[in-house]
């Protein structure tokens, strides 16, 4: 059973290509060649699951200013400037200043190298995109514009891999800037590390934090019909292996809350959700708070991260990883295995089902450790192979930072207690890694995603204006 993923806003990439117009009458064959290269770049960008707004080819500062205005109005997430040959910095300065989006400059010459024996001046100029690159870097810095570039040749897959990282990073930045992040309930008592001022999210990352109450969900739970509940149970039986410990009544309750969660997310147009409610003595609010895990896991698998313990920053880290295609599951430290040289990590509660090593298990729990309530919980380990941890830290002055570490999930014995445990090998002593990770400024939750993603997170941090700390062995 494949869950239908949410359809995020497409990344909007503005493209402007250019060269110095003084060359065109001197070398008539040059402009058509450069325009062919510009069309090739536009085509490659369009194949990266983004919307390309092509402002055309500019030859002087006036045309650059006109392109800048077109791209400003388009509301781009990233501006790509293709330096086909030499052009002056005044031609791209308006583009960089007016768009409000990060700018990536491309220096992609036609082939790997010139044919020195046959080339004349006009043929050489098609390979001269590197010439203005230092000029752009100097001018951009003096204008207060961040500088980044990729140099290579048109069919250089190494260069296109780097370009792809910037496109993905722009998509992550857009997901945060346009995102609506739900914060439901109240802070888990005593967890000082996870407390986050919602205004800082809007200030540093963009987007909106919607403050929700447990009654926003309770009322929707009460309106779920028996037929809708039965349909959600049927869906869950397709997605999960249901352990014999699951009590039918608890299963149905989790399914009912899951339907209501879908409605809550839809009604408030949420892109992520962090929640916690304590409750007391089995009353309605406690039961609603305890019924999240099934629905939150289904939401997370669909690309709408939902996490417990009011962990707003981790829900955002999970959104980052999801938009990079890495999944991103709610995770904390569980134990160190010095015999096998691995760190065991995971969490009770919601999981990203899309990155499970096998069909995830629903287990019935008579008690949620450290929390009130009981019901069904998700058990799985992340797909074996390379993984990346990603968390959103916060300094004393309130500044957010990205924190990451790469490792490998390896097979081995796991607890069977309804947790999402994975055994991660970081290539060093588990205790030394744990000390370094804890000293990085990370809170005690983070996102665990598939693949080694530090290169992509480096681009994400650059576009978000955040410092990236990488914990390595």
Detail the DSSP E strand segments found in 45-185: 50-58, 78-83, 103-109, 149-153, 180-185
Q: Is the pLDDT of residue 32 over 90?
A: yes
- Count of residues in the chain: 473
- Among residues 125, 139, 159, 128, the alpha carbon closest in space to that of 89 is found at 139
Give residue 1's pLDDT.
46
Burial of 206: CB neighbours in 10 Å, binned 0-12, 13-18, 19+: middle
Q: What predicted TM-score, i.e. pTM, was given to this entire model?
A: 0.95
pLDDT of 46-92, one tens digit each? 999 899 999 999 999 999 999 999 999 999 999 999 999 999 999 99
Give residue 15's pLDDT.
98
Distance in angstroms (rounded) separating the CA atoms of residues 459 and 453 = 10
pLDDT above 70 covers a percentage of the chain that reads 100
Handedness of CA 107, 111, 117, 122 (dihedral sign): negative
* Three-state secondary structure call for residue 36: helix
pLDDT of 95-153, one tens digit each? 999 988 999 999 999 999 999 999 999 999 999 999 999 999 999 999 999 999 999 99
Classify domain 11-176 by CATH number.
Answer: 3.40.50.10940
User: What is the token pair recorded at 123?
Assistant: 């043929």
- Among residues 168, 170, 163, the alpha carbon closest in space to that of 40 is found at 163
pLDDT above 90 covers a percentage of the chain that reads 92
Classify domain 179-470 by CATH number.
Answer: 3.20.14
Q: Greater confidence, 280 or 180?
A: 180
- Among residues 164, 7, 181, the alpha carbon closest in space to that of 80 is found at 164
Question: CA dist 172 to 38, 157, 307, Å?
Answer: 26, 22, 19
Give residue 133's pLDDT.
98
**Where do the domains of the chain lie?**
11-176, 179-470
């Amino acid at each position: 059973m494949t869950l239908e993923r949410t359809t995020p806003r497409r990344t909007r990439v503005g493209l402007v290509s250019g060269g110095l117009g003084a060359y065109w009458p001197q070398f008539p064959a040059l402009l058509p060649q450069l325009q062919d290269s510009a069309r090739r770049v536009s085509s490659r960008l369009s194949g990266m699951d983004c919307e390309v707004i092509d402002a055309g080819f500019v030859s002087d500062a006036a045309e650059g200013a006109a392109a800048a205005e077109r791209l400003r109005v388009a509301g781009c997430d990233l501006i790509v400037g293709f330096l086909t040959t030499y052009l002056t910095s005044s031609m791209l300065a308006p583009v960089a200043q007016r768009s409000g989006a990060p700018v990536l400059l491309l220096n992609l010459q036609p082939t790997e190298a010139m044919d020195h024996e046959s080339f004349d001046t006009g043929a050489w100029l098609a390979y001269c995109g590197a010439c203005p690159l230092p000029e752009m870097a100097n001018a951009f810095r003096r204008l207060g514009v961040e500088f980044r570039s990729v140099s290579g040749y048109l069919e250089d897959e190494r260069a296109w891999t780097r370009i792809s990282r910037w496109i993905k990073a722009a998509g992550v930045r857009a997901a945060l800037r346009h995102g609506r992040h739900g914060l439901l309930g109240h802070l888990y008592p005593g967890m000082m590390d996870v407390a986050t001022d919602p205004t800082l999210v809007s200030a540093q990352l963009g987007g909106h934090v919607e403050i929700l109450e447990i009654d926003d969900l309770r009322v929707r739970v009460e309106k779920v019909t028996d037929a809708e509940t039965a349909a959600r149970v049927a869906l869950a039986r397709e997605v999960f292996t249901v352990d014999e410990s699951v009590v039918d009544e608890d299963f149905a309750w989790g399914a009912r809350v899951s339907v209501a969660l879908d409605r809550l997310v839809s009604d408030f147009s949420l892109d992520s959700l962090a929640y916690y409610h304590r409750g007391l003595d089995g009353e309605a609010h406690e039961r609603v708070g305890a019924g999240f895990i099934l629905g939150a896991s289904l939401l997370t698998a669909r690309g709408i991260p939902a996490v417990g313990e009011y962990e707003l920053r981790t829900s955002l880290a999970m959104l980052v990883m999801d938009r990079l295609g890495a999944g991103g599951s709610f995770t904390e430290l569980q134990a160190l295995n010095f015999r096998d040289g691995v760190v065991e990590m995971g969490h009770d509660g919601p999981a990203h089902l899309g990155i499970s090593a096998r069909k995830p298990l629903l287990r019935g729990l008579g008690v949620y450790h450290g929390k009130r309530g009981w019901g069904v919980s998700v058990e799985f380990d992340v797909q074996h192979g390379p993984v990346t941890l990603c968390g959103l830290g916060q300094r004393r002055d309130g500044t957010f930072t990205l924190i990451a570490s790469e490792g490998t999930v390896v097979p081995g014995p796991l607890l069977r207690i309804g947790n999402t445990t994975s055994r991660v090998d970081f290539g060093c002593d588990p205790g030394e890694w744990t000390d370094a990770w804890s000293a990085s400024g990370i809170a005690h939750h983070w996102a665990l995603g598939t693949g080694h993603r530090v290169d992509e997170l480096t681009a994400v941090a650059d576009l978000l204006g955040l410092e990236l700390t990488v914990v390595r062995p």
